[in-house]
Amino acid sequence: MKKFIALLLCFLFVFGLTTVAYASDSDDEIIYRYNNTESATTSFAISSTGYATVKNSYKGRTGYFQSATITTKVQKKVGIIWVTVSGGSWTDNSTSTNYSKSHSVQLSSTGTYRAHVVFVISGTGGSDDKITKNVQKTYS
């Protein structure tokens, strides 16, 4: 009898700890991470000849997005700091809700590089979104 009661208590204890999840009633409910932006992405590639290409894209929130400033830097790691390479800095301004643009620079030496990109996206959804992306690659 003691075994039966112990087993019953264990059973009740285990199933009593389970949690219940409830799904939203509305399929169109979206929670945005940013005020004026749906997404922002950066890709960074270095060819075997040292040609570095950064591609930046964003999608503004429809009805909220107004403008964007995208600052792109290709930087080399020197010791513990990052130094922007010659010819590796660009600033773009856009009023397009959907944006995609690439920039390239020829690297002069091997090493560890990164694309450092700051998206500042303004609109009526609240304060400006400041989104920073760092994508690191090694050129050898």
* Domains of the chain, first to last: 34-139 (2.60.40.10)
CB of 137 within 8 A of CB of 45? yes
CA distances 46 to 52, 60, 63, 120, 127, Å, are: 4, 28, 37, 25, 35
* Backbone angle region of 87, left / alpha / beta, with phi > 0 → left and psi within -120 to 50 → alpha: left
Helices (H), the chain: 2-16
Please write the tens of the pLDDT for every residue from 48-82: 999 999 999 999 999 999 999 999 999 999 999 99
Separation of alpha carbons 132 and 105, rounded Å: 20
pLDDT 10s digit of each residue in the chain, 140 long? Answer: 777 677 767 666 666 665 555 454 555 556 668 999 999 999 999 999 999 999 999 999 999 999 999 999 999 999 999 999 999 999 999 999 999 999 999 999 999 999 999 999 999 999 999 999 999 999 99
Separation of alpha carbons 70 and 111, rounded Å: 25
pTM of the predicted model as reported, rounded to 2 decimal places: 0.78
Q: 35-61: string of b/e by CB count within 10 Å (b at 16+)? A: bbbbebebebebeeeeebebbbbbbbb
